Structure 1
Amino acid sequence: MKTVAVVGGGISGMTAAYRLRQSLGDGAGIVVFESAKTLGGKLRTVELAGRSYDVGAEAFLARRPEMLALVSEIGLDGQLTHPTGARATIRAGGTSRGLPPGTVMGVPASADAVAGLLSETGRKAVAAEATMPLSLPAQDVPLGKLLRDRFGGELVDRLVDPLLGGVYAGGADGLGLRATMPGLAAAVANGAESLTAAAAAQLPKSRSTAPVFGTTTGGLSAVIDRLAELAKADIRLGLPVRSLQKTADGWRLEIGSTTSTEVMDFDAVVLAVPAPSARKLLDGVVPAASSAFGEIELASMAVVAMALPPETELPDISGILIGAGERDAHGQPYAAKAFTFSTRKWAHYGGGPVLVRGSVGRFGEERVLQVDDSDLIAAVRRDLAELTGVTAEPVETIVTRWGGGLPQYGAGHLDRVERIERAIGEIPGLAVAGATLHGVGLPACVATATTAVKWLLTR
């Protein structure tokens, strides 16, 4: 391989470009094509009231090694930081309570774990689950139906959905068990006789002091910038890849607009793009993979970042997750699905303006996003005032919209990914990476990029 195209300049694409440079050396020609005007994909750091602030992904799971190791490997470990001890809360049943321990993504290890968060009827339903026979089919099952059948709807609405919404912008009813909670499915396969027993089996035997999450003090775009520096790639911004064709010697890409098109040839290609783009580029090239990508649904969301005056008093918590069915004092649904009190959550934001971000948008509820920025800001501020009493006028606000930003791992997602990887695996010089495949978090994206490069090299 002398020339490689990487299509997509998010964390997956830039990790792939960096790994390619490591493996192929300085003599290889590596070109990264990104249709947006900037690199980063869902990593975007802006300046908010003079502070570097993430308006896309704001953290990564530190108990999974890939992203943590990458940050250290590229020399940014000096910027690595972890959350303060401030706890998150959840708005459920009209009240806000601390996020309960003893659960796995909201699935409780015992009825006691959710006492106080659920009604007594809901708590009894959780207690009864341990006595219900459990048998899972070989294929994946819809998570929402499984949990509602066994625990009742209250647990799903008040706890599971808000937690899943923070990861996928979707609730349990649109997701699959094995794709989103593989540990629970594995525990059942290993003999757990109920989902509460499966959750108990997933909990650590002793309390760990290792931090759960991490980020970089300069914003996560610093990771993208450093990868771009080390990859020494030709970065082509604002240039969509219009088509992909197999040639006798490799691959031909058609790049640019309909009125200004460029054709370039490469020995190999890494596709690190969202599902709709992958479907389009692979149509007619790898039809089976294109079809599977086309079956994956996406959710849209927005982040409203607010810098409040320095004297603003926030609750002493890291944030609030909001259940989909929760309503304000006037009986209206909350527009926001979550608030992050960044000044409380991250010590490096101490001093200066008080930084808060509100997240808006759930799968299937795009209506709440179909307003202009000023109306979205007003709605988020109303929710913040209702939930916390904070009414301070922001000194600056930034609205960032992520249209179709989050893939939905519905029942059958693992089968779709298997079809994609099996079909791609039959085509030398082609690999795929990204959040569509094996996890939407940053460590999973880094892992898919590393795997994609290894695949190209071994082929």
Structure 2
Amino acid sequence: MTGQTASQGSTSGDGSRPKPGTVAVIGGGVSGLAAAWYVKQALPEAAVTVFEGSPRLGGKLAVAEVGGVRVDLGAESILNRRPEAVDLARAVGLADDLVHPATASASVWSRGELVPMPKGHLMGVPGDPSVLTGLLSAAGLRRAEAGPALPSRSRLRTEAETDDIAVGGYVAERFGREVVDRLVEPLLGGVYAGHADEISLRAAVPALVPAFESGQPLDEAVSKILAAQAGAANPKPVFAGIRGGVGRFPVALTESCESAGVTIQRETMVRELTRTAEGWRLVSGPVPSPVAHEFDAVIVAVPGTPAARLLKDAAPAAAAELSGIEYASVALATFVFDDAALPAGSGFLVPPADGRFIKASTFSSVKWSWLGESGKTVVRASVGRHRETADLQREDGELATLALADLRTAIGAPDALGEPVDWHVQRWGGGLPQYAVGHVARVERIRSAVAAQPGLAVCGAAYDGVGIAACVASALRAAREISAGPA
């Protein structure tokens, strides 16, 4: 077995706290790359190594050419209202290529019609139910305007009850089931590919937790939040993109890491992680020919299931919690047309209650001006939700055909979409962690168990958010924990 000898670490300015001299990052997705970048910035003299099991870096962010146009095969936008990801994109040389959507309007494909997305809601929860006119049925609107069918949560709570609740159940209690089915469900599904009746309020819509805890009327709470947002000076656009595709972000991040001296080992699967007297031992390579590596500190930046396997000996309590996080698989079908007539707006969401094949569509060449400049029409459609895998078992051609049929039906003009000049199906198996009720408390338990092991940290989409900004923030947190050295 070959190895890399662990350093005893350097010391801080006052000599009181040793810093790690060698740091391993397991996982080369955007979280792992960001963690390595942050560690190297904080500890320029440290030897930082990223281990990635696949040939490609970037995780679920990627670009490819479809129909002569470079398009994103994964996420195509970054949350702009929190700073971590956009600031890091600037730091790695993408400042001049940060852009914002050309249009913020969207629709809901509900009951066979494209209905404009209502204004004045927070993740589908309205401040005033009247904004849902046109989306809800007459009966559904009356129910939303009628108020809670049951006493408020604060009056119902007992000591035995959890301090979390599913978003769907919470909203349905106040506004009725139709609000959940027609707006909350498709919005949450677009983020998590999950189910509103299972997704945690604390994890998915934390701004509403104070109302949940106090029993404040939900519409009143949303109205105050929206008013505060509207009153903010120079509010930022909600989302940002990158000219040429968000998939350029991990490429630029990789280049910046390597320029700073970070070592990146592709096609190097880490199979074991154990604590040693001096730090940590990683074992990579095939079972017959294992390779051992010694490090002072380790950041585990892989999804929940592989993280659980790695931590089963070093942090068994964390491993048990991580193994309980379920994941959803999704597919993205991208179509490129020479020219196509699209409705106004950036795309539409689809309520699962309508039983359609696709769950959302983005008119990418309308949403992003840099794609529109190609002269082509680019449309994406997403397929798949948590535990609903039958549609994902179809081969690529059939999946694309069914998705295109839904797009044509939604647009409602038989000739609006001709035959695409090219198409691509990208599958992301186990791509989205599910934030079930109690997720925030689960993450606290994971981090507590990990923190008990010196020189160990975790980051990624399994913890504080599935978006790029949340993943980068998670990486920053892990890097700070490691860079600080032992407490």
TM-score, normalization: structure 2?
A: 0.89
> 2:16 is matched with which residue?
none
> 1:348 is matched with which residue?
370
What is the CA deviation profile of residues 248-291 of structure 1, one whole-angstrom value per residue up to 9, with x for unaligned ones?
Answer: 11111111233442211111110111011111111121011001
> 1:169 is matched with which residue?
193
1:314 equivalenced with 2:337 (yes/no): no
Aligned partners of 1:201 and 1:5: how far apart in 2?
45
> 1:330 is matched with which residue?
none
Aligned partners of 1:49 and 1:253: how far apart in 2?
43
1:304 equivalenced with 2:328 (yes/no): no
Tell me the SS of whatever aligns to 2:223. Answer: helix
Amino acid in structure 2 at the alignment position of 1:18 = W
Aligned partners of 1:263 and 1:303: how far apart in 2?
38
> 1:276 is matched with which residue?
305
Superposition deviation, residue 345 in structure 1:
0.4
Contact 2:56 2:266 in 1 (8 A): yes
Show structure 1 runs of 4+ deviating over 6 A.
none
Contact 1:86 1:344 in 2 (8 A): no
Higher mean C-alpha displacement, 442-451 vs 350-359? 350-359
> 1:5 is matched with which residue?
24
Aligned partners of 1:177 and 1:3: how far apart in 2?
39
Superposition deviation, residue 188 in structure 1:
4.2
Aligned partners of 2:172 and 2:326: how far apart in 1?
22
Q: Which runs of 5+ in 1 are unaligned?
A: 327-332
Amino acid in structure 1 at the alignment position of 2:117 = L
> 1:135 is matched with which residue?
153
Tell me the SS of whatever aligns to 1:173. Answer: coil
Aligned partners of 1:399 and 1:256: how far apart in 2?
31
Which of 33, 38, 49 is 1:14 aligned to? 33
> 2:478 is matched with which residue?
452
Q: Which structure 2 residues correspond to residues 51-450 of structure 1 after superposition, within 5 A?
A: 51-85=69-103, 87-129=105-147, 133-136=151-154, 137=157, 139-189=163-213, 193-205=216-228, 206=230, 210-232=236-258, 233-309=262-338, 311-326=339-354, 333-350=355-372, 351-388=374-411, 389=413, 390-450=416-476
Tell me the SS of whatever aligns to 1:230. Answer: helix
User: Superposition RMSD on alpha carbons, in Å?
Assistant: 1.6
> 1:42 is matched with which residue?
60
Tell me the SS of whatever aligns to 1:47. Answer: strand
**Structure 1 residues 416 and 219: CA distance shift in structure 2, 3 A:** same
Aligned partners of 1:60 and 1:38: how far apart in 2?
21
Q: Which runs of 5+ in 2 are unaligned?
A: 1-19
Contact 1:47 1:53 in 2 (8 A): yes
Aligned partners of 2:461 and 2:93: how far apart in 1?
24
Aligned partners of 1:54 and 1:261: how far apart in 2?
36
Aligned partners of 2:282 and 2:78: how far apart in 1?
33
Aligned partners of 2:176 and 2:102: how far apart in 1?
34
**Structure 1 residues 380 and 260: CA distance shift in structure 2, 3 A:** farther
Higher mean C-alpha displacement, 86-95 vs 286-295? 86-95
Aligned partners of 1:368 and 1:196: how far apart in 2?
37
Contact 2:80 2:238 in 1 (8 A): yes
Aligned partners of 1:131 and 1:312: how far apart in 2?
46
> 2:15 is matched with which residue?
none
Tell me the SS of whatever aligns to 1:52. Answer: strand
TM-score, normalization: structure 1?
A: 0.94
**Structure 1 residues 175 and 302: CA distance shift in structure 2, 3 A:** same
Aligned partners of 1:47 and 1:157: how far apart in 2?
36
What is the CA deviation profile of residues 19-52 of structure 1, one whole-angstrom value per residue up to 9, with x for unaligned ones?
Answer: 1111111x32211111122100111111222322
Contact 2:43 2:483 in 1 (8 A): no
Contact 1:301 1:405 in 2 (8 A): yes
Aligned partners of 1:392 and 1:440: how far apart in 2?
35
Superposition deviation, residue 146 in structure 1:
2.3
Tell me the SS of whatever aligns to 1:204. Answer: helix
Aligned partners of 1:52 and 1:95: how far apart in 2?
31
What is the CA deviation profile of residues 290-349 of structure 1, one whole-angstrom value per residue up to 9, with x for unaligned ones?
Answer: 01101111111001111111x2222222101001011xxxxxx32110110001101111
